[in-house]
């Protein structure tokens, strides 16, 4: 463990919920729950106002509704959260080359490796400046912990919540840890915690009093030695720079099992398109296409197909996913579908052309008119054709267009009323509140779900552009 508190842990405060409150003026200061909103949904994040009622992450949404029936229940906007996370992680990388993200809203930073801090005073100054920069760039708050080890820095950031900074001075670690629950230590989960409690060990001080031999007897050699070392505040784990992604994937869980085979096929196509957008956003391509299907009885099947070369072509990934689906029995219904790409590589134009040529050659030899049509699209793409046409999913003949789904919390724009967000939908109607991050609480209006003047929209940034254009939009439609 270091003799100076130069390891920083950042944890954004109730990240998803805070981002929704910042985006929606009418929800500021109110209980907000983000997660799956259906009967099988699970809470991803709850605002501090919702936590007062006992709502917390990983809780079934149905239980959360019983505890906080008047809260706003919103479906996650993953792309929006990722864009904010990228801004925050960018600020952290300006401090040090050693940044270890744990999730979208949490990371360790080695300040010493970046040469920006070397003692308590300089570390505190960096933490204060970082919190101010995060607020300026994203409009959100984060809590910062500073200590001589990763374990203690994370404990410090938890104590700092919400919107604070805690620095653990060298030499005070043992006194701080002593009265804390054994669950505070890394590697002590619910099962280990219960096992220790039954042995009469509930606090970190009691672990030290029991001694290392007793911990080994209770938990086994490796785990016992590790937990005892943590209880003595010994943690030499380094901050490890983020590792390269091994795969890119997306999946959806459905509130009601899907039985219609055509609908399942359309969902797989949609997931393939989302997966490719994420792949391209990371400037990657991949060779192995993976399909994940969780059936009505909770059995989970995965099927994969490895291509001859890496691709980020939406038509190629879509077709591979469709072939994989053909080999899966969905009788009885499915509750989850996912599409992923692994075997990742940096994207190169030559890879795409090679893959397109292979697909075209295969299609020329095929008798299926549908396969030939896909090959034509791929050829046009390789020769400089319009990407919009290549991205259009081929649907079964005579298939009815899928009804637009309006997810609570997601962004929309109306031709007359401007930007807003979905409050809810049902019985052929969708209710929208028209407001922006820069306006006051907006008015609510209801439309038919197929209203041609209403369409999905991209989220507005939480902090307006320097030109003030976003602010003007907010005033115009408040």
User: Which residues are tagged catalytic?
Assistant: 106
CB 30 within 8 A of CB 72: yes
SS3 assignment, position 365 = helix
Q: For residue 306, report the phi and psi dihedrals to the nearest 5 degrees.
A: -100, 125
CA gap 429, 413 in Å, rounded: 16
Pairing of strands 284-295, 418-426: unpaired
- The gap from C-alpha 2 to its chain's centroid, in whole angstroms, comes to 32
Contact of 106 with 85, CB cutoff 8 Å: no
Is 110 within any annotated ligand binding site?
A: no
SS3 226: helix
Tokens 């080999």 locate to 327
* Residue keyed to tokens 């099947």: 301
User: Residue 256 and residue 188: Cα distance in Å, rounded?
Assistant: 36
Assign residue 11 a region (left: φ > 0; alpha: ψ between -120 and 50; beta: otherwise): beta
Minimal CA–CA distance to 378: which of 399, 396, 352? 352
Q: Is 346 annotated as a binding residue?
A: no
- Cβ atoms of 427 and 406 within 8 Å: the answer is no
Residue ranges for the known binding site are: 11, 105
Residue ranges for the known binding site for Mg(2+) are: 11, 105
């Amino acid at each position: 463990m270091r003799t100076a508190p130069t390891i920083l842990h950042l944890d954004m405060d109730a990240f998803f919920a805070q981002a929704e409150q910042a985006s929606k003026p009418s929800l500021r200061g109110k209980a907000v729950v983000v997660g799956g909103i259906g009967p099988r949904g699970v809470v991803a994040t709850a605002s501090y106002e919702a936590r007062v009622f006992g709502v917390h992450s990983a809780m079934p949404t149905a239980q959360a509704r019983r505890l906080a029936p008047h809260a706003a229940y919103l479906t996650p906007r993953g792309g929006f959260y990722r864009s904010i996370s990228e801004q925050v992680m960018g600020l952290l990388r300006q401090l040090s080359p050693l940044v270890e993200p744990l999730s979208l809203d949490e990371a360790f930073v080695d300040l010493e490796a970046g040469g920006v801090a070397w003692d308590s005073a300089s570390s505190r100054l960096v933490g204060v400046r970082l919190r101010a920069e995060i607020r300026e760039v994203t409009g959100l708050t984060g809590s910062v912990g500073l200590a001589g080890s990763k374990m203690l820095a994370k404990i410090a950031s938890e104590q700092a919540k919400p919107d604070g900074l805690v620095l653990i001075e060298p030499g005070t670690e043992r006194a701080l840890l002593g009265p804390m629950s054994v669950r505070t230590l890394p590697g002590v989960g619910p099962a280990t915690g219960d096992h220790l409690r039954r042995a009469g060990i509930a606090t970190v001080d009691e672990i030290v009093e029991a001694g290392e031999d007793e911990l080994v007897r209770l938990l086994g050699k490796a785990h016992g030695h590790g937990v005892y070392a943590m209880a003595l505040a010994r943690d030499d784990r380094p901050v490890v720079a983020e590792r390269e992604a091994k795969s890119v994937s997306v999946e959806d869980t459905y509130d009601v099992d899907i039985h219609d085979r055509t609908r399942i096929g359309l969902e797989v196509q949609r997931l393939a398109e989302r997966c490719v957008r994420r792949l391209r956003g990371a400037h990657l391509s991949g060779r192995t296409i993976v399909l994940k299907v969780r059936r009505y009885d909770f059995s989970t099947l995965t099927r994969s197909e490895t291509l001859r070369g890496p691709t980020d072509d939406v038509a190629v990934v879509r077709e591979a996913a469709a072939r994989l689906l053909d080999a899966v029995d969905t009788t009885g219904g499915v509750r989850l579908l996912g599409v992923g790409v692994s075997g990742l590589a940096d994207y190169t134009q030559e890879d795409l052309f090679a893959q397109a040529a292979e697909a075209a050659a295969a299609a020329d030899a095929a008798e299926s008119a549908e396969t030939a049509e896909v090959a034509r699209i791929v050829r046009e793409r390789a020769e400089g054709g319009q990407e919009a046409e290549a991205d259009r999913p081929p649907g079964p003949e005579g298939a009815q267009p899928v009804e637009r789904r309006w997810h609570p919390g997601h962004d929309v724009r109306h031709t007359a009323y401007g930007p807003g967000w979905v409050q809810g939908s049902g019985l052929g109607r969708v209710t929208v509140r028209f407001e922006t991050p820069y306006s006051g609480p907006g008015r609510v209006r209801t439309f038919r779900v197929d209203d041609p003047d209403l369409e999905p929209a991209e989220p507005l940034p939480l902090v307006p552009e320097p030109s003030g254009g976003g602010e003007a939009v907010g005033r115009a439609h408040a």
